[in-house]
Structure 1
């Protein structure tokens, strides 16, 4: 007996909090205000982006804005942005003349908001926005403890800056009707890819499960801008690790 185990006796906090090489500086620092925002701009045709370097929307407010040129007068359909897969993720897409956004909570509930796209012959800005209200604390007697430390917020669609008040929200949680819940942990332990103009892995939404990767067509996707707000909860490595295990 050499009593050599464990080979790594660090805690979850120590493992997840260890310094790792960074491709870029974090969007916010200790001097940032809660109202500060940071935007990422992406263009179609690129490779899949690993979750570790994709925009972090966990426990915070965020917005996704796609600029699309409809001058080709085709039948637009397909994914504008997708991150994750059928066991957890989110996707912004056009399907059957509807502008749709799905947040697939841990693969258990495909929360969906949609509206009629309408007819266009020019460049249009399509946007979905999640405005955080609160992050649940299971220790404080929430309505459903199984929701863990999910974040609750209002979800809206807009076209050219005009909010679509007649948007349809489906599969929302009974305890939080008319709102969306986002999961606290990553979409997978190893991360599932972030894509522009397609959903390259497992489908986030069952709407296009038979048409994967559901590449965008019928119009020209110019760019996608993701804006995150500095209102995320303070990082809790143990809680984030449990959130990832909830998915896997």
Structure 2
């Protein structure tokens, strides 16, 4: 079975891991859970708990990987070395593909023939993934992701709207937090203006813009955000 523990709660995680645990798996930053970065030291504590129990330590980087947070993988900043990393979404640049990276002894666990997928490794998606990797590296998109996050945070602060309490996240995966549970209404209003965001919590909307987005597009979003919220106050 699978045991779920509150994200960021080291004591709860350590209490749930024992000699019967096969794997500890978590996100280096919650995506659907509200764009919540891991507390300092949490990933290292989780890795230590897994290894103390003889379990694998795996990180789900489907949302956070491939440069979205300003590094190839979000866990790099923590200094931890996972046994497994899962990837998808950004890896294919819009085409369907998923991948699992394995390191150290974990890399020997799956041998040719031990796992199969009907459409796994299809050449078109794999070619797209290689092009994505080349583009991220060649076009400086890791640093661009950090610029995007800073641009959004500065722009939201400049609105000086009491509805917004801040911006959390890393790089180009951020959430605008709110003082009131109006995320669903704001999501609908922004969609009507042509901007796709997610209400990932009653008081937070998630932004995951493409790494190639321009400052003009970001400014247009911030202008719309300010207009919508000012309109709601009138």
TM-score by length of 2: 0.30
Query: Greater strand percent: which structure?
Result: 1
- TM-score w.r.t. the length of structure 1 is 0.28
